[in-house]
Amino acid sequence: MGLAPEACFVFFGAPEPEGSAHRHPFRQNRDFFYLTEFDEPEAILVLCGGKSHLFVQDRDESREIWTGERYGAERAAGIFRVDEAHRLLDFDSKLDLFLKDSKSVYFTLGESPARDAKILKAISNSSRHRGKGRFGNLPVHDPFPHLSLLRSVKDELEIDRMRRACSATAKAHLHLLKRVRAGMTEFDASNEFQYWLFKQGATELGYAPIFASGFNATTLHYVRNNDALKHGDLLLVDAAGEVEGYTADLTQTFPVSGTFSPEQRKIYQAVLDVNREITRMTAPGVNYRALHSRSVELLTESLLSLGVLSGDLRENIHSNAYRPYFPHGLGHYLGLDVHDAGIYHEEGRDFELQPGMILTNEPGLYFRERGSPFHGIGVRIEDDLLVTAKGAEVLTRELPRDVDAIESLRTIASA
């Protein structure tokens, strides 16, 4: 990473949840989880002098009766593969010691005034010790860009978890595809999906699920999920599960009745063609902007050939005429967060994909305008791609996507 060898890194985990702990369960800060996998509140990680130090809350029977067993410093060191574990109460005094022999501090300022104050106090103490007149205050750098880069390239362990999250998610989508029928509600479909998702090994939902039928599918973040599923409508399902902290992100769109209408089929096929082309293009050295631009070009071509837009391809792209129909980006990095850490542009340059990166491929088309033959159709097809040495692997490939495959599964379902 080209970081100063005598640097001292400080990372804070997520605090105790505010309000009722069982209304808002604890969720570890994702950078902190990435670095430690330690899942208790108020923890702190310090990397200094070639060693890792984890600061944790003390064991406390009167608290544990409410919030569950804590590791405590003694046990945490063995379990979490840090060099030393300490009591949280000793953090301030230990940090003073660490900074005595450091040349710089890596810490993200500005996230919490209380935390900033702790770090600035320790820097001030160390300046007194080192002779401020000679050396000045220790410089503070932001570790965020380094972590973004680290987190965006997944190692084998992370890829294994992503494979399991994507597989469980694809299996639950396939189950849903076979089971949904008119007369159910979006809520029923969501329950059916989640039951299977968790049966397949997922432990959490990766994000608020979207079960959007008919016109609801043209609202990108529809989460009400309570309408009745009607014959003739499409159902767009954007939902996925997490395995050991890593989440999939998958969208499928299929007809509530057995078959697509001619209009629905045209839109579905146009989106699927783009999804497939983007998968073919994805490889090391390609950048996200190129993938997004290609999807815009292909979707705009389709809008022209369907008669939704008219005129010149380039003009329709430059004037953003396609935007009402494709208002979102082609995808995003995926991992510990559904919109994961990672760099898209760096100092004005597009950042090239590398093996081990995982990103979503989610073209879509949405028609909200009245009078259009496609009114009320919303289609999105989202896969998760692992960038490999030569191309991309579709981690969500267990879910069939072809029109024929979907229709035959739906026919079995409604028989």
Residues that bind Mn ion (CB under 5 A): 249, 360
Q: What phi, psi does 34 have (nearest 5°)?
A: -60, -40
Closest approach of Mn ion to the CB of residue 193, in Å: 16
Cα–Cα distance measured from residue 42 to residue 93, given in angstroms and rounded to the nearest whole number: 17
Closest approach of Mn ion to the CB of residue 80, in Å: 31
Closest approach of Mn ion to the CB of residue 332, in Å: 6
Cα–Cα distance measured from residue 380 to residue 394, given in angstroms and rounded to the nearest whole number: 16
Report in angstroms the alpha-carbon separations of 261 from 225, 268, 345, 405: 23, 10, 41, 15
Nearest residue to Mn ion, by Cβ distance, number only? 249
Q: Which CB sits closer to Mn ion, 244 or 249?
A: 249
Q: Which CB sits closer to Mn ion, 126 or 360?
A: 360
Q: Retrieve residue 36's tokens.
A: 């430690």
Q: Which CB sits closer to Mn ion, 301 or 340?
A: 340
Closest approach of Mn ion to the CB of residue 189, in Å: 19
Closest approach of Mn ion to the CB of residue 328, in Å: 9
Q: Which CB sits closer to Mn ion, 129 or 339?
A: 339
Q: 5-19: b or e for each residue (b if 16 or more CB lie within 10 Å)?
A: eebbbbbbbbeeeee
User: Which helix (DSSP H) or strand (DSSP E) does residue 47 occupy?
Assistant: strand 44-48
Closest approach of Mn ion to the CB of residue 364, in Å: 10
Contact 160, 386 (CB under 8 A): no
Q: Which CB sits closer to Mn ion, 238 or 244?
A: 238
Cα–Cα distance measured from residue 181 to residue 229, given in angstroms and rounded to the nearest whole number: 7
Cα–Cα distance measured from residue 215 to residue 402, given in angstroms and rounded to the nearest whole number: 22
Residues near 203 by beta carbon (within 8 Å), at least 6 away in sequence? 241, 242, 243, 244
Q: Which CB sits closer to Mn ion, 73 or 248?
A: 248
